[in-house]
Amino acid sequence: MITQHDQPLLIAEGLSKNYGARIGCRDVSLAVHPGEVLAVVGESGSGKSTLLGVLSTELAPSAGRVSYRMRDGRMADLASLGAAERRLLMRTDWGFVRQNPAEGLRMAVSAGGNVGERLMAVGWRHYGNIRAEALDWLAKVEIAGDRIDDDPRAFSGGMRQRLQIARNLVTRPRLVFMDEPTGGLDVSVQARLLDLIRGLVAELGLAVVIVTHDLAVARLLSHRMVVMRHGRVIETGITDQVLDDPREPYTQLLVSSVLAA
Amino acid sequence: MTQTDPILTVAGLSKTFILHLREGARLPVVAGAGFELHAGECVALGGPSGAGKSSLLKMVYGNYRVDAGTIQVRDGDETVDVATADPRRLIRLRGQTMGYVSQFLRVIPRVGALDVVAEPLIGDGVAREEATARAGALLARLNLPERLWQLPPATFSGGEQQRVNIARGLIAHRPLLLMDEPTASLDAANRAVVVELIEEKKRAGVGILGIFHDAEVREAVCDRVIDVTEFARAA
């Protein structure tokens, strides 16, 4: 669980990202440890997706740096990695689950192909093994094996999202970024997906940075939380502490604005 | 450090809620609270509703933050101050040393009662099969019908949910247990089971700090009562 590894996996220091004069995120520092789920919450425009983009190297920071503990144990400044090395990292050691599965999947490729592609990227060549592993992962995310040759255009929103999770986890990444993974799904579909994510994260000991505006999702999945507003981190702590005893006016507003069902 | 050292030492504890959405209204909870708890001892927080008993319990667990004072918890050979501990240290403390039985079960969609109860053991590294077997044994002791074990507790009655919650809170060994009204919605037979379970924990050396409104239960399990109104008056 969280306890054994006290060395951080990812460290962000003084991260800022500007879009011209507009601020995406400003002076954000945080650390993510192995097996730990960190939720980034805030309203639309608070900078949480920008932060995720900069952490995952999809966006170049205007200032600050992100370092990552490579599999050999050394801490690497991500900006210093070559494009090939960074791409390999993203395909193998990292996952990125997007809100819109069409952005995270190849929609014209079969379900099995979507999962198998990541395996081929890490050197799997044997067709039978790749197909068997893909079937195994489809089962893990509760997609019937007879759908392996269908492409995701024929899938419901919830199934597409589960397929995206299988595609991301098949290479056993150590760190997964998630951007509103349950956004836009029906509540019952959302519950199934959350349960699945919760189980897989614990089983595989994944570190996760999850961006969500849904505080219930954050409570269910995360150990720690950062609250963002106007691009800055305004409050951090253990998830239940931030939600049950919010200190900042904005966090109090966020927490008190949720309808209790 | 010896066995006679307290497992929990609270000193000078103060807390005021500031409600920013109500023009910064201040709600004092406690001021200068202090007490000790030893291994094998069960201590009740006493005082009328609104005196701050639950808030105090939540501060000890690190669920509510603290304005001033210390909450020293013995964690093996170390001592952790919950009031100032790094979040990750606090998560570890909760994982191995400090358990909390809340008043209400927080239900997780789609997770069955048996798995809800077994989860802390699995977190401790116990094999799933054994964890599930022990969860079943505990639920049976608490008279939860076996036909409910695989169902998510969302649709259970208040008393059934509370029994699942108690089982989840007591299944793993934690040297310090915090209990918020563990018997509130239980009938006499199940109250008696909970009293037995608490007695067993005490014999195993667990220190228990709790809120027990039921006078019979309190008299059966508690060694002494701390009057929280003393701390509230100061606040």
Closest-approach residue (CA) in chain A for B93: A3
Per the domain annotation, does A196 fall within a domain? no
Q: Are A215 and A225 in contact (CB under 8 A)?
A: no
Per the domain annotation, does A122 fall within a domain? yes
Closest-approach residue (CA) in chain A for B128: A203
Query: How many residues in chain B?
Result: 235
Q: Are A52 and A40 in contact (CB under 8 A)?
A: yes
How many contacts, defined by CB atoms under 8 Å, are there between A and B? 59
Q: Are A89 and A81 in contact (CB under 8 A)?
A: yes
Q: What is the pLDDT of residues B100-126, one digit of tens each?
A: 998 888 878 788 999 999 999 998 999
The predicted pLDDT at position A4 comes to 44
Does B145 contact chain A (CB < 8 Å)?
no
Q: How many domains is chain A partitioned into structurally? A: 1
Instruction: Name every residue whose Cβ is closer than 8 Å to that of residue A11 and which is 6 or more positions away in sequence.
Output: A30, A31, A32, A66, A67, A68, A75
Higher per-residue pLDDT: B155 or B134:
B134
Per the domain annotation, does A220 fall within a domain? no
Provide, as residue numbers in chain B, all residues whose Cβ is less than 8 Å from the Cβ of A198.
108
Average pLDDT over residues B41-66: 94
The predicted pLDDT at position A3 comes to 42
b (16+ CB within 10 A) / e for B34-61: ebbbbbbbbbbbbbeeebbbbbbbbbbb
Per the domain annotation, does A163 fall within a domain? yes
Does B76 contact chain A (CB < 8 Å)?
no
Does B203 contact chain A (CB < 8 Å)?
no
Instruction: Name every residue whose Cβ is closer than 8 Å to that of residue A38 and which is 6 or more positions away in sequence.
Output: A30, A32, A207, A208, A209, A210, A222, A223, A224, A225, A226
Provide, as residue numbers in chain A, all residues whose Cβ is less than 8 Å from the Cβ of B64.
241, 244-245
Provide, as residue numbers in chain B, all residues whose Cβ is less than 8 Å from the Cβ of A244.
58, 63-64
The predicted pLDDT at position A233 comes to 97
Query: How many residues in chain A?
Result: 261
Residue A105 backbone dihedrals phi, psi, to 5 degrees: -115, 165
Domain extent, residue A116, equals 101-172
Between the alpha carbon of residue B111 and those of residues A162, B19, B128, B154, B169, the distances in Å are 18, 35, 15, 9, 16
Q: What is the pLDDT of residues B175-200, one digit of tens each?
A: 999 999 999 889 999 999 999 999 99
Higher per-residue pLDDT: A188 or A224:
A224
- Using the beta-carbon criterion (under 8 Å), do B90 and A198 form an inter-chain contact? no
- Using the beta-carbon criterion (under 8 Å), do B63 and A220 form an inter-chain contact? no
Q: What is the pLDDT of residues B21-40, one digit of tens each?
A: 889 999 999 999 999 999 99
Residue B123 backbone dihedrals phi, psi, to 5 degrees: -60, -30
Does B110 contact chain A (CB < 8 Å)?
yes
Tokens of A241: 């502490």
Per the domain annotation, does A12 fall within a domain? no
Per the domain annotation, does A141 fall within a domain? yes
The predicted pLDDT at position A187 comes to 82
Per the domain annotation, does A57 fall within a domain? no
Prediction pTM value = 0.92
Average pLDDT over residues A217-242: 96
- Using the beta-carbon criterion (under 8 Å), do B62 and A238 form an inter-chain contact? yes
The predicted pLDDT at position B234 comes to 57
- Using the beta-carbon criterion (under 8 Å), do B110 and A3 form an inter-chain contact? no
Model confidence at B66: pLDDT above 50: yes
Alpha carbon A184 to chain centroid distance?
A: 16
Parallel, antiparallel, or unpaired: how do β-strands A207-212 and A175-179 relate? parallel
Q: What is the pLDDT of residues A6-56, one digit of tens each?
A: 799 999 999 999 998 888 999 999 999 999 999 999 988 899 999 999 999
The predicted pLDDT at position B87 comes to 95
Provide, as residue numbers in chain A, all residues whose Cβ is less than 8 Å from the Cβ of B15.
none
Average pLDDT over residues B123-138: 96
Average pLDDT over residues B77-83: 96
Per the domain annotation, does A218 fall within a domain? no
The predicted pLDDT at position A1 comes to 41
Provide, as residue numbers in chain B, all residues whose Cβ is less than 8 Å from the Cβ of A207.
none
Nearest to A223 among B17, B91, B96 (CB): B91
% of residues, chain A, pLDDT over 90: 76
The predicted pLDDT at position B140 comes to 98
Q: The complex's ipTM?
A: 0.91
Alpha carbon B224 to chain centroid distance?
A: 17
Instruction: Name every residue whose Cβ is closer than 8 Å to that of residue B180 and which is 6 or more positions away in sequence.
Output: B54, B57, B100, B101, B102, B103, B210, B211
